[in-house]
Structure 1
C-alpha cells in the first residue's frame, strides 16, 4: 500500500463506530498487513502481548482501554517487558475517545482525539515499510488532500463519463484547479469567513445534489465578474460576498459536471480539511496524478523531496546568493544591490511538471529577500521578486495549471510569512494576469521564446488558466540584464524504451548531432536544447537531474566530448544517489545532478554524498580533475590476460538440463554421462544454482547420438534453429550438437565474472573453476590465466572502475571486457607483485572454502560477510593499492583520480600489445 491508500484506510477506520476488540487488527490491516498475518495475530500464534493487547514483533504494541485511562495504558505499554523483547518500534493506546502513541526509536509522541488520529498517519508510515523523510510526516495534509480529491475526481467521472474524454479532459482539470484555489482561499481569509465556500455549497445545494453543479457554476461566474458588473450579470445575493478573483482562473466558461450524492459528500469532505496546511512544494507533484489515468495507479508516489531539489538549486545559484548575503552583513548599499540582483533573476524549468523546482526557488529567494529587508529596517516592504520570473514548459496541461496555481499559493504564503496577513490579503486579489508557464513540448519549442536573452521580446503567450498581458514589455523590463538559471528533472527513458514520438523529439533536439538521438537517454534532449539556448544567451547556466547512465559507458563517450567541444563544462555535479519518492521501501531511480555552463576558470564542485571536493575540472564520469573518457579496447592496455565471452547456445533450451533431470538421465543412460557438463552463467555463479548442458565436440557427435535422449534433444535444437529469424542461427541447424558461439574452452582452469551483478556487494562476484565447467555467454571468462588476475577483479579498485566506466542496468553493474577489463589501468607488475597477488587470491578462495556450501550471494551479503573473508579481501586491497601508490587509498575519489591519471598516461604512451588476439565479441 502507498501512503494515500493508507491515509484513506485509517480515515475510514476513524469514522466507524469504535470497537475496542477489533480496533488493533483493523489498524494493522490499514497499514497493509495481509489477512494471513492478521489471522495469526488473532489466533495468538504471533501475538506477543503480555497485557492482553496486540503485539506484532518488530512493529507495534497496541492496547485498548477503559475510558479515561489512555495515558496510564501507554505508560504500561512502554514498561512492558514484552514490548522490549519483541523490539516494538511503536506503542499505541486508545479508549475510542482519546488516542496516544509513541515512536520508541525517536521518542516522538502523538496525543489527540480519536477522531483526529488520521491527521497523524504520517507518524506511523514505517509500519508499512515506507521509509519516510521528515517532509512527508510534517506535510501529511498534502497526502490527505490528494486522497480526497482523487475520490471526488473518480466519482465525477463515473457520473459524467464524457468529462473523461480527451476533448473534455482540460475542462475537468480546470474544475479541479478552481476547487483547490477555493478551498485554500476559504481557509486563509482570502474569502471572508473561514470555510465560507464549502458552507455556501452545503447550504445552497440540495441534499439530493440535484443543483450542486449550478451552485458551483454561479460561484465561479461570480469570481470572474467585477463588483461593478455584477448587477448586470444578475449575480444572486447569496454569492455577492465572494471576491472578484480574475487572473483568468475562472474565465473560459463556468460549466460544471453534475454531482451525485456521493460526489457532493466528497466535495464537502475535501472542503472540511484545513487547507492552511497545504504545501505547494510537494502538493502539486502528487495531485497531478489525480488527473492522469496512467499515473492514478501510482497515486501517492509522486513526491519529490525538498532536500533533493535543493541539491540542484543550492549549487546552481542559491549558495552564491547566501554567500553574498553573509558578505554584505549590515551594509545597506551592498544589501540593496543584492536585492536588486535577486529581483532580476529568472528561474526556468523546461520540464516543470507541477512546478516543484519553481516553487522551491521562489520561496528560497523570498527568504533571502526578507532577510535583506529585515537588515535594512524595511520588514513590511513589498516583494520585488515577480512570479513571472519563474518560467516553465510542461507537456501536459493539468500539471502546467497546477504549477501556476502552486506559484500563486506560494506567493501568498510568503507574503503572510514575511509581511503579515493584513498586507498579504490587501494585495492578493485580484490575481494578476501575467504568467510564464506554458503547455508545450520542450524539445520542440524554442526556449528563447519563453526566456529570451535580454528579458524582453517574448513571442509566445501562455495559454489556458492564465493569459499573458498585452503589454509584455512593461513586465519584461524588470528582468533586463538579469541572470537566467535553468533547472529541472526531465523525463529519463532509455533508448530502448522510447516511443516513436519521443525518438522524433530527441532527434529534433540533437539535430546538430543526429547520431546521439539514436543511442542516448531521453533526458539528454534537454542537454542538447540547453547547448543551443546558451549559444544565444551568454552566461546561462543549467542544472538537470539525469539518469546516472549518461555518465557511464557509451553515453559518457557520446555526450560529453560534444559538450566540451561546443565550449561547455560541468560546473558542479552530484555523483549517483537515489531520487526517492513516497513509494514503499523508498523506491527510486538512481540519478546524478549535472550543472552546466560555458568554460570558465571558476573552481568546480563535486558532491559525493555529504562530501564536497573543489577541483579544476569534472570529467564525463564525474571524476575530479580529469576530462579523459574511456574508449573500448580490443586488448588489455596492461599485463592482465585476455578476457573473452562465455558461450552462447541459441538452442531453444533443448541443450540444457536442470540438476534433477541431469542426475536421472546419467543414472539411466551410460552413453549420456561424458556429454553432460555443469553450465555456469551469472545466476548460477552468484546463487550457486546447479544447471547442466550437453557439450558435444564435433568428433563425438555420432557417439553421442547413440543415446536416445541426446538424439531427441538434438532434433529439437535443429527444429528450433530452423525457425529462427536470425540467419546466423539458422545456419547452425545442421550442427545442433554445438553452441552457436563458442568463445573458448579452458584446458586447465578458468576465472569467471558475471555479466550483471548487484552494486550492493562490497566486491565484484568472481569465481575460479575447473576446466570441465562450461561458461555461459552471461559471464566473461579468463581461460587458463594466472591466478593473480583474479586478485585484480575482486579488488576495490576494480569495483570502483567498473562502477564508473561501464553502463549499468538500473543500479546493477553491467560488466564489459572491452570497456571494463581491457581498459583497467594496471601498473607494470614485478614477479614479486604477481606472486603476492596470487597468494591474496588463494587466501580469498580458502576463506570462501571455510564457509562451504555458502554461495557468493551468501558470502558477499553487505551485512553478513564473514570476518575471515573480509580480512582476506582487505589484505588483497592493501597489497594491490601499495603497488599503485605505496599506501592505501583514502577513498574512492582518490582511487578514481589515480586510475584515470594512469589510464591517460598508458593510452597516450603505449602502443597496443603485440601478439594478443581477440577471440570473441563483447556485449558492452
Structure 2
C-alpha cells in the first residue's frame, strides 16, 4: 500500500463504530498487513502481548482501554516487558473516545479524539515501511485532498460514462480543475465568504442530487460573466455573489456532469477540507494521478519531494542568485540590478507534468525578491517576476491545466505572504488571460517557439486561452538580456520498454546523428533537445535522469553528441534513490546532470553520503560518467589494455536442452545407464553458481564421440540434439546437426581450471561474486570465464575497485550489475604488477575461497547478502582491497569517488599511450 491508500483506509476505520475487540486487527490491516499475518495474530500464534492487547513483533503493541483510562493503558504498554522483548517501535492505546500513541524510538507522541486519529495517519507510516519525514508531514493534507478528489472523479465517471470517452475526457479534466480552484478560492477569501462554494451547493442543490449539476453550472456561469454583464445574464441571486474569474478557466464549455447522492457527498467532503493548507508545489503531482487511468492505481507514488526538486534548481541557478544577494548586502543599486535580472529569468520545464519544478522555482525566486524589497524598504511592492517566465510543455491535458492553475495559486500565496492579504485579493481577480503551458509532445516541438531567444518577438494566439492545448495566449516574448534555465524530470523509459511512438520520437531526434540511438533511454531525447536549443542561444539545462545514461554503451552514443554541440557538464548529482511515497518504492536510481554551453572554470559534483547528507566537491571537469576527470569515453576493447589474463564467454549449448541435465538425472545416468563419469561434467552459469543450483552437462570431445555413442542413453540424447538442430531455420544451427555431441559454441577444452564471472549480479552485493572451479567444470554462455588463469586475476575481480569500475562503465540490467568482458574487463586499468604483488594477491584470493568454504553449504547468494555476510569473509575481502589499493596509490582509497577518479586517470594514460583513447573534449567535433 502507498501513503494515499493508507490514508483512505485509516479514514474509513476512524468513521466506523468503535469495536474494542476488532480495532487492533483493523488498524494493522489499514497499514497493509496481509490476511495471513492478521490470522496468526488473532490465533495467538504470533501475538506476544501480556496486557491483553495485540503485539506485532518489531512493529507495534496495541491495546484498548476502559473508558477514560487511555493514558494509564499507554503507560502499561510502555512498561510491558514484551514491548521491549518484541523490539516494538510504536505503542497505541484507545477507548474509542480518545487515542494516544508513542513512537518509542523518537519519543514523539500523538493524543487526539478517536474520530480525528486519521488526521495523524502519517505518524504511523513507518508501520508500512514508509519513513515519516518532514516532507510527508507537510503534505498529509495534500494526500487527503488527492484521495477524496480521486473518489469523486471515479464516481462521476461511473455515472457519466460519456464523460470518460476520449472526446469528452478533456471536459472532465477541465471540470475538475475548476473545482480545485473553487475549493481553494473559498478558503482563502478570494470568494466573499469562507466556504461559500461548498455552502452554496449544500443549500441550493437537492439532497437527492437531482439538480447539483445545475447549481454548479450556474456558479461557473457567474464566474465567466463580467460584473457589467450580470444583469443581462439573468443569474440567480445566490450565484451572483460569486466574482468574475474567467482568465480562460471558466470560458468555453460550462457543462457539468450529473451527480449521484454519493458523488454530492464526496463533493461536500472535499469542500470540508481546509484548502489553505494545500501546497500547490507538490499537490499537482497528486492530482495528475486522479485523471490518469494508468496511474490512478498507484496514487501517491508520483510525489516529487521539494528537496529532490531543489537538488536540480539550486545548482542550476538559485544558489547563484542567493550568492549575488549576499554580495549585494544593503547596497540599493546592486539590489535593484539583481531584481531586474530576476525579472528577466525564464525557467522552462519541457516535461512539466503538473508544474512542480516551475512552482518551486517561482516560490524560491519570490522569496529572494522579498528580501531585496525588504532591504530597499519596498515591502509591499508588486512583484517584477511574471508567471509567464515559467514555461512548460506537457503531453497530458489535465496535467498542463493543473500546472497553470498551480502557478496561479502559488502567485496568490506569495502575494499574501509578502504583500499582505488585502493587496493580494485586490489584484488577483480577474485572472490574466495569458497561457504559458503548452500541451504537446516536447520531443516533437521546436522549443524555440515556446521559449525563443530574447528579442525574437514570437507570439501565439488563442481564443480559448486556458483549454486549447497547442495554441498559446499572446505573451510578450521580448526579454532582452534574460537568462534561460531548462529543468525537469522527464520520463525515463529504457530502450526495451519504450512504445513505438516513443521510439519514433527518439528517431526524429537522433536518426542521422548516430547509428546506436535505439539503445538510448527515452530521457536522452530531452538532453539532446536542450543541446540543440543551446546552439541558438545561451542556456543551462539540468534534468533528473536514470543513471544508466551515464553508464555503459549509452555514454559514447549520447554524450559524444552533447559535447560536440558545445556543451559541458556544469554540475551533477551522482546516483541516488528517487524517493516517493510508495511503501513498495519503485527504487529508481537516478542522477542529476546539468549541462551548459558556457560553464565556468570549476564544476560542482554532488553526492549523497550515507547518513551524512549531501556532499559537494569542486572540480575542474566532470566527465560523462559523473566522475572528476577528462571527457574520456571508455569504449569496448577486443583485448586487455592491462597485462591481465584474457576473459571470454562460456560455452553455448544450442541443444534444445538435451545436453543439459539436472543432478538427479545425472546420478541416474551414471548408476542406471552406465555412462562414463568423464562424460558428465559440472555445469555453471550465473544462476547455478550464485544460487548453488546443482546442474550437469554432457561433455564429449571429438575423439571421444565414437565411444560415447556406444552408450544407449547418450545416443538417445545425441539423436534428440541432432533432430532439434536439423529443423532449425538458422543455417549455422543446421550445420551443427553433424556434431550433436558438442555444444553449439565451444570455448574450452574441458580440462582447465576456471575463474567464473557471472554476467549479472545484484546491485545489493558489495563485491562481484567471482568464483573458482577446478578442472572439469564447464561454464555456460550465461557467465564469463578465465581459463587456466593465475589466481591473482580473481583477486582483481573480487575487489571493490573492480566493482565500481563495472558499475560505471558497463551499466546495469534493470538495477543489477551487468558484466562485460570487452567493456569491463578488457578496459580495466591495472598497474604493472611485480611477482610479489601477484603472490600477495594470490594469497588474498585463497583467503576469500577458504572463508567461503568454512561456511559450506551456504551459497554465494547467502554469503554475499550484505545483511548476513560472515565476518571472516568480509575481513578476507577487506584484506584483498587493502593489498590491491596499496598497489595503486600506496594506501586505501577514501571512497568510491576517489577510486573512480584514479581509474579514469589511469585509463586515459594507458589508452593514450596505445593511441586508442576516445576523448570527447567539450566543444570539439567528433
Q: CA deviation at 1:690?
A: 1.3
CA 1:338–1:723 in structure 2 vs 1: closer, same or farther (change >3 Å)?
A: farther
Counterparts of 1:528-567 in structure 2, within 5 Å, are 528-538=528-538, 540-567=539-566
Render the CA deviation track for 1:732-771: whole Å, top value 9, x for unaligned: 2343322211222453311011101112211111001112
- Residue 326 of structure 2 aligns with which residue? 326
- Using the size of structure 2 for normalisation, the TM-score is 0.95
- Residue 465 of structure 1 aligns with which residue? 466
Counterpart CA distance in 2 for 1:231 and 1:734 is 95
- Residue 737 of structure 2 aligns with which residue? 733
Is 1:302 matched with 2:289? no
Is 1:271 matched with 2:271? yes
- Residue 385 of structure 1 aligns with which residue? 385
Counterpart CA distance in 1 for 2:726 and 2:192 is 79
Q: Which of 836, 842, 863 is matched with 1:838 structurally?
A: 842
- Residue 757 of structure 1 aligns with which residue? 761
CA 1:155–1:319 in structure 2 vs 1: closer, same or farther (change >3 Å)?
A: same
Q: More deviation in 353-362 or 659-668? A: 659-668
Unaligned runs of 5+ in 2: 609-613, 917-926
Q: 3-state SS of the aligned residue for 1:591?
A: strand
- Residue 827 of structure 2 aligns with which residue? 823
Q: What is the number of residues matched between the two proteins?
A: 909
Counterpart CA distance in 2 for 1:666 and 1:129 is 51
Q: CA deviation at 1:24?
A: 0.8
Q: More deviation in 432-441 or 887-896? A: 887-896
- Residue 497 of structure 1 aligns with which residue? 497
- Residue 419 of structure 2 aligns with which residue? 419
CA 1:432–1:911 in structure 2 vs 1: closer, same or farther (change >3 Å)?
A: closer
Counterpart CA distance in 2 for 1:411 and 1:71 is 45
Q: More deviation in 118-127 or 350-359? A: 118-127
Q: 3-state SS of the aligned residue for 1:218?
A: helix
Q: Which of 868, 877, 885 is matched with 1:873 structurally?
A: 877
Counterpart CA distance in 1 for 2:161 and 2:472 is 37
Q: 3-state SS of the aligned residue for 1:833?
A: helix
Counterparts of 1:221-370 in structure 2, within 5 Å, are 221-370=221-370
Render the CA deviation track for 1:495-523: whole Å, top value 9, x for unaligned: 22222221221122225514253231111
- Residue 597 of structure 2 aligns with which residue? 598
Q: 3-state SS of the aligned residue for 1:230?
A: helix
Unaligned runs of 5+ in 1: 913-924
Counterpart CA distance in 1 for 2:37 and 2:910 is 60
CA 1:827–1:340 in structure 2 vs 1: closer, same or farther (change >3 Å)?
A: same
Is 1:642 matched with 2:646? yes
- Residue 924 of structure 2 aligns with which residue? none
Q: CA deviation at 1:335?
A: 1.6
Counterpart CA distance in 1 for 2:442 and 2:730 is 39
Q: CA deviation at 1:470?
A: 9.7
Counterpart CA distance in 2 for 1:647 and 1:178 is 64
Q: CA deviation at 1:616?
A: 1.1
Counterpart CA distance in 1 for 2:105 and 2:138 is 18
- Residue 577 of structure 1 aligns with which residue? 576
Q: CA deviation at 1:601?
A: 4.1
Counterpart CA distance in 1 for 2:253 and 2:827 is 65
Q: CA deviation at 1:783?
A: 0.2
Counterpart CA distance in 2 for 1:543 and 1:736 is 56
Counterpart CA distance in 1 for 2:325 and 2:297 is 45
- Residue 175 of structure 1 aligns with which residue? 175
Counterpart CA distance in 2 for 1:453 and 1:203 is 53
Is 1:863 matched with 2:867? yes
- Residue 688 of structure 2 aligns with which residue? 684
Q: 3-state SS of the aligned residue for 2:861?
A: helix
Q: 3-state SS of the aligned residue for 2:857?
A: coil
Counterpart CA distance in 2 for 1:6 and 1:412 is 32
Counterpart CA distance in 2 for 1:638 and 1:58 is 51
- Using the size of structure 1 for normalisation, the TM-score is 0.95
Counterpart CA distance in 1 for 2:498 and 2:209 is 45
Q: More deviation in 93-102 or 358-367? A: 93-102
Counterpart CA distance in 2 for 1:151 and 1:861 is 43
Q: More deviation in 722-731 or 247-256? A: 722-731
Render the CA deviation track for 1:654-695: whole Å, top value 9, x for unaligned: 322223333334332212643222211112211212122222
CA 1:558–1:179 in structure 2 vs 1: closer, same or farther (change >3 Å)?
A: same
Q: CA deviation at 1:380?
A: 2.0
- Residue 710 of structure 1 aligns with which residue? 714
- Residue 796 of structure 2 aligns with which residue? 792
CA 1:896–1:194 in structure 2 vs 1: closer, same or farther (change >3 Å)?
A: same
Counterpart CA distance in 1 for 2:726 and 2:215 is 71
Render the CA deviation track for 1:625-668: whole Å, top value 9, x for unaligned: 22111111111111100000011122333322223333334332
Q: CA deviation at 1:606?
A: 0.9
CA 1:725–1:458 in structure 2 vs 1: closer, same or farther (change >3 Å)?
A: farther
Counterparts of 1:14-413 in structure 2, within 5 Å, are 14-413=14-413
- 1:617·1:624 contact (CA, 8 Å) conserved in 2? yes
Counterpart CA distance in 2 for 1:580 and 1:742 is 46
CA 1:721–1:206 in structure 2 vs 1: closer, same or farther (change >3 Å)?
A: farther
CA 1:470–1:541 in structure 2 vs 1: closer, same or farther (change >3 Å)?
A: closer
Q: More deviation in 896-905 or 516-525? A: 516-525
Q: CA deviation at 1:132?
A: 4.3
Is 1:887 matched with 2:891? yes
Q: CA deviation at 1:316?
A: 0.3
Q: CA deviation at 1:172?
A: 0.7
- Residue 588 of structure 1 aligns with which residue? 587
Render the CA deviation track for 1:141-174: whole Å, top value 9, x for unaligned: 1111111111111111111111111111100111
Counterpart CA distance in 2 for 1:651 and 1:29 is 50
Counterpart CA distance in 1 for 2:531 and 2:821 is 33
- 1:208·1:260 contact (CA, 8 Å) conserved in 2? yes
Q: More deviation in 90-99 or 357-366? A: 90-99
- Residue 922 of structure 1 aligns with which residue? none
Counterpart CA distance in 1 for 2:431 and 2:729 is 63
Counterpart CA distance in 2 for 1:857 and 1:172 is 52
Q: CA deviation at 1:725?
A: 4.7
Render the CA deviation track for 1:546-596: whole Å, top value 9, x for unaligned: 111111111111122222222110001111111121222433311111101
